[in-house]
Structure 1
Amino acid sequence: MEFSEIVDFLRNYDGKPIRLMEVCGSHTHAIATHGIRDILSDKIQLLSGPGCPVCVTPTAYIDKLIDICLEPNTTVATFGDLLRVPGSKESLNEAKGRGGSVEMVYSPMDVLALAKDHPDRQYVFAAVGFETTAPVYTLLLDNAIAQGLSNIKILTALKTMPGAISYLCDNGAQIDGFIAPGHVSAVTGADYFNDLADKYSIPFAVSGFGAKELVIGIYGLVQMVINNQPQVKNYYTSVVEQGQNDIIVSQLNKYFRPADVVWRGMGIIPGSGLLLRDEYASFDAGSNGLDEDNKQNKACRCGDILMGKATPKDCPLFGKVCTPMSPEGACMVSEEGSCFNAYLVRR
C-alpha cells in the first residue's frame, strides 16, 4: 500500500471508535511536533500514557533530592528538566535559590570529573528513567568503581514498562492498542511485550519516531485492532530486534534488582522498578521507600492523564495557572510530558 493510501485510510476511517496509547515520552513529543493527530479521523484517539520518566516520578523523590542538596558538602547532579518538577512543597530550583547545591549536567558521566576535582564533596546523581537510560547509570558505577571514586552516589527512580502497562489494563484505562516504546524496545527487544499482548488480548506496534514511521505504526496498530489480532508487530526493524540486547540486560542485572515502586498518580506497582542490589548499597543515596506522592495543587490531574482517563484539556489548571514556565504538575515540565506537548500544540 502506498503511503498516501495509508494516510487517506487513517483520515477517513469511520469504523468503531479506537483508543490508542503511546507509552514513550519521545513518541508523545514526536506525535505533537509532527501534527500526527491532525491527520487522524475523529474515530481514532491518541492518548499519552506514562512514558515520560520525569512525569511519573513521585513527589517523595523530589523531596529527597531537596533534602540531599541542602546537606553540607553535598551536591545533587541532575538533568535540567528535573529542576522544575514540583515536590510536595517546592522544586529543586526553588531549593537551589535558598542555598541548596544543585549542578545541572548533560550526562551522568559528567559527575566523574566533578567528583575527581572535588574529593571532599559528595555528589548524588538523580537517576531517573526507564530500561533505556538505566544502562547509562551502570556505566557511571563501572567508572566510579574503576577510578576509586567513593564520593559518588545515585538516587534511583528507575522504572520498567510492563508493570505500568499491566496496571493500566487492570484499572480501567480502556485502551485498544499500544504504540510500544521504541527506545525501550531497542534494549529489551520487541518480544518484551508478547506476554502483555497475550494476557490482555491487546496489540502492540513498535514504532520509530519520524512522521512517516509513526503513521505507518499507527496504521498497523489500527489494522490489528480492527482484525482482532492481539500480537506484537515491529515497525522499527532498523533499530529494534525481536530479542533483547543480552549485553545490556546482563549489565542491568549486575547492578539492579526488580522492586515495588511508586508511579506518580498511580501508586505502588509491584515489580515495576529497579533498585541497586545489596552489594552496591554503598552507592545508594536512599532510594528505597520513597512512596509519598503529595500534590502541591490538589486540582492537578496528572495521574488521570497518565492513565488515559483524562486529557490535558480536562484539567482545570491547564494553560491557566499551569504552563511550562510555572508548572503545577510534572506532566507540564518535560518536553516529553503530555501537558507540555498539548500546550505546545495549542500555542
Structure 2
Amino acid sequence: MAVGKDILKTLHELVDRDITLMHICGTHEAAIARAGLRSVLPDGLKIVMGPGCPVCITPQGEIDAALDLVDRRCTIATYGDLLRVPGAKGSLESSGGDIRVVQGVHKAVEIARKEPDREVVFVSVGFETTAPTVAATILSRPPENFSILSCHRLVPPAMAWLLAQGEAALDGFILPGHVCAVMGYEEYERFPAPQIVAGFEPEDILLGLLMAVQQVREGVHRVDNAYPRVVTREGNVKAKRLMYEVFEPYDVEWRGFPVIPASGLRLKPEFEGYDAQKKFDIEIRHVEKHSACICDRVLRGVARPSDCKLFGKVCTPRTPVGPCMVSHEGACKIWHLYESRRA
C-alpha cells in the first residue's frame, strides 16, 4: 500500500476546493466501501454513485414482465441478485414459480436442452459486459423452447443524460472498468468532462482519482486510462461485433431515470424467435413509484443511501424495499455492509 500512501499524499496536496466525481460501477462502490477509501480522502473530494448496478436500474415494469412469464408457466432462469427485487406482485423469489438461479446464459440453455417440454426464459440483465455472451449464445441457435427477456442497458447514453441534466454538479467520471474492458473507451471521448478508466484494487481507484483531479485542476477534459493492463481504447472488437450482430439499441426506461434514447438493447428482427416479450405477448409497462424509497436519487448521484429514512430500518438486506438494497452491486446493500459500520 506504499504506492497508495504516496497517491493519497499527493491528493491531499492537490485538492484545494470541492470536487465531485461519479463512478458508474457497482464493483467500484464495493471496493471503495470495503477499503474505507472515503474516510482517507481529502475533505473536498467527494465520490458519488451513479447507475452502475444493472439489477438496480432494471425498472419495475421489467420485473413485472418476468412475473407475467411466471404466470404463463415459463421456467425463469436468471442471476441470483434479481430474485428479490420487488415488483408489483412480489418478487421472483416469492412468486411460487419455477425459478432457477444460473451463473450465465449458457446454463439457461442447458436447462432448455435437458427439459424440452418446458419454455425456459433467461431474464438477461447487464450492461455491455454480459451482452456479448448472450449474443454469442443466440448465434449458436439454442433450442426453440429457449428465449430471453432482454433487460440490457448501454452506459454512454446514461452518461449523456446525466451531463445534460446537470443535476449532480459533477466535475468528472470514473468509468466502469469491466464495461470498458469489452467496449473500450473511444465512445466516451465525446463527453466534455474529465474521465478516467480505473481498475478495482484500492491503488487502482486512488490512481484514477488522482488522474481525474489533475484534469479538473488543469481545466481540461479527456479520457485517461488508469487500467491499461485490462482496457484498451478500442476494447474487444470481436465481442462488440457479436453484440451488434444480434442486438440493436432502442429507447428504454431506467429505474430512477426517464426513457433514455438508444440506451437499451433488443434483439434484431431476425432473432425475434428468441424474444420472450414477443413470443409470449408480454407488455412492459411504466410503473409509477409510490414508496418512500430513494433508490432513484441514489442512482442519479444526488443522494446517499443513508439519506433514505428507510435505510437500515424498514429496508435491510433481509427485507429490501428497493433494488439498491438487493443486489451485491447495489449502493444501499454495500453501505449497509460497510459504511454503516463506520458511522
TM superposition score category, shorter chain reference: over 0.9
**Equivalent in the alignment of 1:310:** 303
Does the residue aligned with 1:109 lie in a helix, a strand or coil?
helix
Does the residue aligned with 2:190 lie in a helix, a strand or coil?
helix
**Equivalent in the alignment of 1:162:** 156
Separation in structure 1 between the aligned mates of residue 213 and residue 89 of structure 2, nearest angstrom = 43
Residues 28-67 of structure 1: pairs in structure 2 closer than 5 A: 28-67=29-68
Separation in structure 1 between the aligned mates of residue 252 and residue 15 of structure 2, nearest angstrom = 41
**Equivalent in the alignment of 2:274:** 283
**Equivalent in the alignment of 2:172:** 177
**Equivalent in the alignment of 1:204:** 195
Note the C-alpha offset of 1:28: 1.3
Q: For residue 202 of structure 1, what is the amino acid of its counterpart?
A: A
TM-score by length of 2: 0.94
Residues 69-80 of structure 1: pairs in structure 2 closer than 5 A: 69-72=70-73, 74-80=74-80
For the Cα contact (< 8 Å) 2:83–2:92, is it kept in 1?
Answer: yes
Residues 89-108 of structure 1: pairs in structure 2 closer than 5 A: 89-96=89-96, 100-108=97-105
Separation in structure 1 between the aligned mates of residue 318 and residue 194 of structure 2, nearest angstrom = 37
For the Cα contact (< 8 Å) 2:183–2:235, is it kept in 1?
Answer: yes
Separation in structure 1 between the aligned mates of residue 72 and residue 264 of structure 2, nearest angstrom = 27
Does the residue aligned with 2:277 lie in a helix, a strand or coil?
coil
**Equivalent in the alignment of 2:88:** 88
**Equivalent in the alignment of 2:19:** 18
Does the residue aligned with 1:244 lie in a helix, a strand or coil?
coil
Number of corresponding residues:
335
Separation in structure 2 between the aligned mates of residue 176 and residue 324 of structure 1, nearest angstrom = 32
Does the residue aligned with 2:265 lie in a helix, a strand or coil?
strand
For the Cα contact (< 8 Å) 1:302–1:329, is it kept in 2?
Answer: yes
RMSD across aligned positions (CA)? 1.6
Q: Which stretches of structure 1, 4 residues or more, deviate above 6 A after TM superposition?
A: none
- Unaligned residue ranges in structure 2 (runs of 5+): none
Q: Which deviations, in whole Å up to 9, do the C-alpha atoms of 1:13-47 show, x marking residues without a partner?
A: 55110111100111111111121112111211111
Structure 1 residues 81, 102: CA separation in 2 closer, same or farther (over 3 Å shift)?
Answer: same
For the Cα contact (< 8 Å) 1:268–1:291, is it kept in 2?
Answer: no
Q: For residue 254 of structure 2, what is the amino acid of its counterpart?
A: W
Note the C-alpha offset of 1:294: 3.4
**Equivalent in the alignment of 1:339:** 332
Note the C-alpha offset of 1:157: 0.7
Note the C-alpha offset of 1:124: 0.1
Separation in structure 2 between the aligned mates of residue 216 and residue 27 of structure 1, nearest angstrom = 13
TM-score by length of 1: 0.93
Q: Which deviations, in whole Å up to 9, do the C-alpha atoms of 1:54-98 show, x marking residues without a partner?
A: 0000001000111111223x20001101000011231111112xx
Note the C-alpha offset of 1:225: 1.0
Separation in structure 2 between the aligned mates of residue 332 and residue 187 of structure 1, nearest angstrom = 27
Alignment partner of 1:254 out of 241, 245, 261: 245
**Equivalent in the alignment of 1:116:** 113
% identity of equivalent residues: 40
Separation in structure 1 between the aligned mates of residue 329 and residue 92 of structure 2, nearest angstrom = 19
For the Cα contact (< 8 Å) 2:139–2:246, is it kept in 1?
Answer: no
For the Cα contact (< 8 Å) 2:15–2:213, is it kept in 1?
Answer: no
Counterpart check, 1:232 vs 2:227: no
**Equivalent in the alignment of 1:186:** 181
